[in-house]
Structure formats: C-alpha cells, structure tokens
Structure 1
C-alpha cells in the first residue's frame, strides 16, 4: 500500500516502529531534538483522519414510561476537551549514543518498538566518525570556540607533515591500548587472531579508543581532522584537539564538530529537519530495516533480543 493512499492516522502510527536516522543540529541537545521531531510527527498525525470519540449509552425518558436507549459520543473523549489524539509524549524513544550539545550530524533514534533495535546497536559499541574543524593559535576555557579566549600562541611554525605525524602517533597509541586492555601483546599471534575477528574493542566500555585519525584539510590557522572512535564523548574530542596543539608547540581549539558516520549509518542517510514528515520518516524506517538485516552479527543479536521478548 502506498503511503499517500493512507488517510487513517492509526494505520500510519503502526508504521512508526523502527530506527530513524536524523540529522541533529549543533547548539541543541538530543532531548530537544527528539521533542521537536515528535511534535512535528504528532502534528501531522492529528491532521489526518483520527479515531472518532468514544460513545456511551444514555437511557433517556421518564421512568414511568418506556425509556429510550440512545448511543451518544462522549464529550469527555472529544479532542476539544481532552486535547489532540496524538502528542509528543505518546512516542517511546531511545538514542543509541547521544551527541553532545555542540555536535551536529548523524543521530540514531529508536522509535516505539524500534527502541529494542536501538538498544542492541548501542550494545555493539559502534564505531563513529567525527569531522572536527579547528583553529591554531588560541585556546578557550571550554576548549571550544564558544568559550572565553584565555591564551594566544604563535602557530606559523606548524607544518602539515608534523600534524599528520602526530595524528598517526595518536592512532597507533590508541590501537595499542585496545589490545593491552584485552591483555594481549600487539605484536603477538594472539593479537593477529583477535584482529581477524573484527574491530578490537577494549574490555572496559568506558575507555575511549581512537581507531583512525587523519588530516582532511590544512590552511593555517584553520585545519580539519577526522577521528574514528568508540566510547568517546564531546569533551574528550575537544581535549584531543587541545592536546594536538600543544604537541605541535602551539595551541588549538575546536570550532565545529560533526558526526559523519555512525556504525553503518552515513550522513546522507540522516533526515534534515525539513524532511521530518511522516512520509519521509516511514521511508527512512523501512530503509534502515533493510540495512539492519544485512549486518550479520548485529542482525543475529537483534533476532535473539526479539526472541527474549
């Protein structure tokens, strides 16, 4: 059945079960993004054909004569009395990995029955890739461009090859940490066998690990780096930029941060706010379901989780 042929809100509501890939704007929390998203969906649902008010049986007339049995609509269930049929609070949701307030980009949201799928995705400790725009020569009190400038340092001596070298050192040192946290020597046969099985994750899920660090552009004082990592958080990424600046005998501050890849979800899969419509969301859920079925071990875990109830 084509979506545009559906006029009944309850039918569309039943299609809103799955994982949605949204684009979160910077300067907004995940909670606020979710609320805005569900308000738009609820508003569109309420503009469709919703269920009629419940009815009640009214027995009317004098008790000394035959009384009339009349079925009337309940005013207590009328939208003018109890409010719209759908509201943002009606949706169940679960964010796989909340993005920071200053971070924009890919945000994975489980909706209604899709919260189970979102939970399983989070449990897999998915790899995420961030693009960080940075500036050399100054630092702020919160390590981000919105903070108060607390120091300015020269930066013209910083060269592209030196930055690339330090990023490769960061990547190598973090990969060593991933092996050592599993009690494995990175140069051993055991480490090779561990790597063959896939991404080597630390045993402690609270340890941030950077698996990829590369320079995307270099135009001093501005530069852009790309970090692929797990168990990260916004302030940790800001601190990496700050540390990089000091290693180059200067200082650096992050000016913008964007999540461009979350597990197998890419930036082009994310719905912009202008696309937060029922038609686009239903199509996005269907596409994401197809992606999930292709993900081998993740798909198996989803099936096992569903079997548990």
Structure 2
C-alpha cells in the first residue's frame, strides 16, 4: 500500500465544499483521511539482522554456554518504534471558495499541485448558481448582513431581469475581447471565437462569459453565471447591482459553484467519500481529461506550460456592471 498508494495519489480531484466550512479546514480534513488510509495498510515485516546470542549447548548435559548465530528483528525499523510511515502530504487547493460559498473545489496531491498552476494559466471558466432576494439591501450584500434599506419590488418582471442580464453579458464580452489582446480581423481570433477559447492573456477584473435566469418567483430569483477571475464576494455584489438596475434592491442568499474548468458536480466527492480509495479512483479517472483539457486551452496564444507559481484568485471588488470602463487599464 505504501509506495503504490502514494503513486496513485498524484493528480487532481474535486470535492464538494459545504457552506460554513473553511477551505483550509477542508484541506486538513482530506489530508488527515488520506494519511489515515495510507498508514492503515499492512506494515512491512521488520528488517532482520544476525546476532550472536549466548546460550547453553544443545544436547549437552554440561552447563556450558556458547554463542549461536540467530536472526532477530531490527527494532529501529519496527512500526511501534518508528511511528506512522506517512506523516504529511503535499496537497494544494485550486480556485478557493469562501466560508459562505459551496460547491466544486479542486484539490491537487503531489505533482497535482503543479497542475493547479497550469489550470490558472489556462484561464478556464467556472459556473455558479447565485440565488437572490429582492426588496432589501445589506452592508455586505448577504441576506444575513446588517439591513441598510428595504424597498418595493412589485414592478420587477422576468422580462426586465432578462434584459438587465443581457446588458451585463454584452459589456463583459466586449471586455473579454479587449483583455485577450486579439486582432479581431485575424484568422486566429475567428478560430478562437468559434471554438470558444477566447481568454484574457493576463490578470483582469471578473469577466462574465454567460449569464441567464433559471428561476424567477419574486422576491426570489436564481441566476446561472459563467465567469473567470471572480471572487464569491463579487458575485454577491453582482446581485446587489442587478437590484439597483431593476430600480429596487437585492441581496444574495446563496453562491454555489457547479463547475470549475472540467470538474463538475458529478465529479465532486461528498464528505462521506473523502477517503483514500475514493480519492485515488477520482484522480485516476480525471487524469486523461485533465491532460487533454490543459493541452487544448494552453495551446492558443503559443503559451508555454509554466513550471512554478501558485493558483491565483482575483481580489478586490469591482463593479460587474462597469467592466467595460476598466478595459483600457
């Protein structure tokens, strides 16, 4: 189990992070469960060494002692003396989720930590479902924040919401082209647009590649957001700004990530599956998909696979309705 078990742990896998749990605590829990599984295997037999032990001569009635070559275990390598064979693992966390958010969280073990960096440089999009509540505003854009204002929302319709979402998507698509540094008249730009692989070349504000309403029953509504370089707080602010555009107010009730790159909810391991065998199987299943996806997305723009670096999260809220005004920065 020792070396073979660790070898099957080299790669990426996804877990489902519940709300209220810090990503750091989740990572520590996963590491603890993996170490528990690795150390639970049958230990190797202790090494043997030859010792000359003093004892009576066999078959002799005389009380004479002699040295006899005897094989005895080396206690320095015994499990009870040495302790657990595995005490730590290199586990990295990809695009993080804050305490209140839930959904797909990608982790890397061993050389999978380097793959997390490759995922960042590939600028893969992520999907979220964001639940909003019309009629009130809070200081932190969350439903349980300090109440700032209450407003009426009877005039809000599904058509008005869809119109606002279309405006948001249009402005962000223009910003996406700007940050990609592409010549719109080139063949490369045309091919990338057809394949849907237009990505920003460097850091950028949050960019929304798609947004639509999934459910509308005032005061509640549910939207699906496809984006990159986002934080969950920026998505909550997006709900607030949508409320303002609708001539009312709105707060965010839930932020749930349903996809991170090639990993979806179907790939995410539940809490009861955070064990050695389930994670090993998840890594082995995802490995060919990870290689194909990274190669496809890193090929455009003649990017080279990076060797160092850490996964990046865009920080600092920026108005999601005003991305176009930042495109010249």
TM-score (norm 1): 0.83
**Aligned equivalents of 1:239, 1:57: Cα separation in 2:** 72
Range with bigger deviation, 170-179 or 292-301: 292-301
SS where residue 85 of structure 2 aligns?
coil
The equivalent of 2:75 in structure 1 is 74
SS where residue 224 of structure 1 aligns?
strand
The equivalent of 2:140 in structure 1 is 142
Residue 24 (structure 2) pairs with residue 31 (structure 1): yes
Range with bigger deviation, 197-206 or 274-283: 197-206
From the CA coordinates, give the structure whose radius of gyration is larger: 2
Q: CA deviation at 1:92?
A: 0.7
Q: CA deviation at 1:35?
A: 0.6
Residue 18 (structure 2) pairs with residue 17 (structure 1): no
The equivalent of 1:169 in structure 2 is 167
The equivalent of 1:127 in structure 2 is 125
Asked whether the 8 Å contact 1:23–1:272 carries over to 2, the reply is yes
**Aligned equivalents of 1:263, 1:305: Cα separation in 2:** 17
SS where residue 269 of structure 1 aligns?
coil
Asked whether the 8 Å contact 2:117–2:306 carries over to 1, the reply is no
**Aligned equivalents of 1:144, 1:100: Cα separation in 2:** 13
The equivalent of 2:210 in structure 1 is 212
Q: CA deviation at 1:287?
A: 0.8
Q: CA deviation at 1:203?
A: 3.5
SS where residue 268 of structure 1 aligns?
coil
Asked whether the 8 Å contact 1:58–1:70 carries over to 2, the reply is yes
Range with bigger deviation, 231-240 or 146-155: 146-155
Q: CA deviation at 1:27?
A: 1.4
Matches within 5 A, 1:263-302: 263-295=261-293, 297-298=295-296
Asked whether the 8 Å contact 1:293–1:299 carries over to 2, the reply is no
The alignment yields a C-alpha RMSD, in angstroms, of 2.9
Q: CA deviation at 1:170?
A: 0.3
Matches within 5 A, 1:1-309: 8-51=1-44, 71-74=72-75, 80=80, 83-87=83-87, 90-182=88-180, 189-190=185-186, 192=190, 195-196=193-194, 198-295=196-293, 297-298=295-296, 305=305
Q: CA deviation at 1:78?
A: 5.4
**Aligned equivalents of 2:51, 2:33: Cα separation in 1:** 38
Q: CA deviation at 1:80?
A: 4.9
Q: Given the superposition, is the C-alpha separation of residues 220 and 56 from structure 1 closer, same or farther in structure 2, using an over 3 Å criterion?
A: farther
Asked whether the 8 Å contact 2:53–2:67 carries over to 1, the reply is no
TM-score (norm 2): 0.78
**Aligned equivalents of 1:231, 1:177: Cα separation in 2:** 13
